[in-house]
């Protein structure tokens, strides 16, 4: 049930959060535990966004009758 609540965030909100995580990890000296927690959150968000983009691409291909050779 918790996962469904997280997915209520828009694509753009999750992308913004991912950018915040990247910036924080790149520009701050963080304790290892905090850096790992942020990395884990970032990977989770990245996977969700990638799946959402793949789904959108598939839908667009179905609507236009075109397929993409790129993966």
pLDDT at 7: 52
Kindly tell me if the per-residue pLDDT of 71 is higher than 60. Answer: no
Separation between Cα atoms, residue 62 and residue 11, nearest integer Å: 21
Across 10-47, b (16+ Cβ under 10 Å) vs e yields: eeeebeeebeebeeeeeeeeeeeeeeeebeeebeebee
For the stretch 27-70, pLDDT in tens is 989 999 999 999 999 999 999 999 999 999 999 999 998 876 65
The structure's pTM equals 0.76
DSSP state of 28: S
């Amino acid at each position: 049930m918790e996962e469904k609540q997280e997915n209520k965030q828009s694509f753009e909100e999750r992308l913004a959060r991912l950018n915040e995580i990247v910036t924080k990890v790149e520009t701050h000296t963080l304790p290892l535990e905090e850096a790992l927690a942020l990395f884990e959150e970032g990977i989770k968000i990245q996977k969700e966004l990638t799946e959402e983009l793949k789904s959108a691409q598939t839908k667009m291909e179905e609507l236009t009758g075109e397929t993409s050779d790129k993966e």
